A and B are shown apart, each in its own frame.
Chain A
């Protein structure tokens, strides 16, 4: 049976959208729900889209917003001030290069986990989806200045969490 245009579009962008949502939530079930909701909303509001080439970016941002909402509903904050201690007490470096590389990647992943969901979202959109500040701003309908300051804060936090490791 021939695929409809909608179905083709769905299969074309599903993987990236799912991954975007997963990177924000870190949870498969939430990622799946967020991706499905995002496609449903995007398809239901196709009138709002003027350029089909932007569909991918658009649906990814919608998915990340849904992911944030889901996190907010489920999230319980326990220890907001003591992340540094967690980051500090990771195992030390190994002399092996490969191991060090894995360790570094792990440290970055840990640092990303310690970010607020909104901060993680902006980094995912910027560095995984490779969207510019203009594009993010246009899609989420938030002023560029706000996006910039969120990005600044997120980077600053990541840098602060990673800094002691780079001595």
Chain B
């Protein structure tokens, strides 16, 4: 079964809300950077960064982080893990880092991201933004600081975040039909 759980307009509202929450906590973003996770988190990350820039007319550091080399499932399944590009043109040392991803599920990607960040320096703090938080499937003790929507799912459900022309719709697909 396939069901839309977030429509375009709803996602737009969420992005505006999270942009406000981030500015409330990080002010001018002078010492804060947004780091979106490759590959799927970059759609959300770019739009969120753009939203903050346009709403508050501030310049922010935006980068993209790839966690492939830090994943804990390398050589543990049949699929070859192919890395993606890293784009970080600022110094991470002593910055407040806001990690952005589309779906938080087992938490293992974020664990890998925390390792990956350290290769670039020691951030002052790290926070996590996620558009969808699948609450009951965590395998490591990681929780988001800012969430678009908390949803209850079973392990064999599939959450699809569909970006088209900077607009987003979120589907939930049950009964393993992908």
A and B interact: no
Q: Which residues of A contact B (CB under 8 A)?
A: none
